[in-house]
Amino acid sequence: MNAIAYACDIGSVKSGAFAWARNSSAETIPTASQDIDKLIASIVEDAKAGKTIALGFEAPLFMPVPTESAQLNSGRQNESSRSMFAPAGAAVTTIAIHQTAWILKELSQHLGDQLTLTMDWQADWRKREAHLFIWEAFVSSTAHSSTHMGDAATAVQYFLDNENDFDSVNAVKCENPLSLIAAAALWSGWLSDVQHLHSSCLVLRPEDPYRKEVLCV
């Protein structure tokens, strides 16, 4: 299999609240770490080995910009009580912009001429070509585990379990999206077309935590 899935549990690197996990459909045990530099090294190694990369971030990656003022600060469709504009959602969104910009900048320096960054799950991911495919993980409520690495593993396993059925499990949508991850990608130099700012991305929302073994690296 030439595709590898990664997921990042967004949180403060300084306080040890950031974690990531990695797996593929050909492997049985996800690997995980709280070291963000190891994330970069692992993705670069996989990409240079000819792998297509799916990279998920457990934080809101796009927001709605409504037409009517009365709808300002309303959450995205199907967020329910976990609105991105609630205090917890707003905090993790800010951290995510910061961290995704750094991650994409680092990866761009190593892989920008090798991988095409995309958020198109309906076409690009299925091609299994040289892509860095960006998606959003929404791990909340009953899906939470007791550790950050556990949450990252939950996200990555849910991705792999549903990679042939993304259209039916895409969990969150909105009208008139403003893409925060596209803004980070533009800043990093990986994207240049500002039309990407008007796009949403795939959102995967597991209902249960991953309860099996995770290998720390």
Strands 203-204 and 19-23: unpaired
| Res 129: pLDDT | 79
Q: How far apart are the first and last CA of the chain?
A: 22
Residue 79 burial by Cβ neighbours in a 10 Å radius (0-12, 13-18, 19+): buried
pTM score: 0.94
62: which strand partners?
179
> Helix, strand, coil: what percent of the chain each, to 5?
35, 20, 45
Each residue's pLDDT, cut to its tens digit, for the chain (217 residues) gives 588 999 999 999 999 999 999 999 888 899 999 999 999 999 999 999 999 999 999 999 999 998 899 888 888 888 887 888 898 889 999 999 999 999 999 999 999 889 999 998 877 676 777 899 999 999 998 999 999 999 999 999 999 999 988 999 999 999 899 999 999 999 999 999 999 999 999 999 999 999 999 999 9
On whether the CB atoms of residues 145 and 209 are closer than 8 A, the answer is: yes
In the chain, where the domains are located: 3-216
In the chain, where does DSSP find H-type helix?
Answer: 36-48, 87-111, 124-127, 148-161, 166-169, 180-188
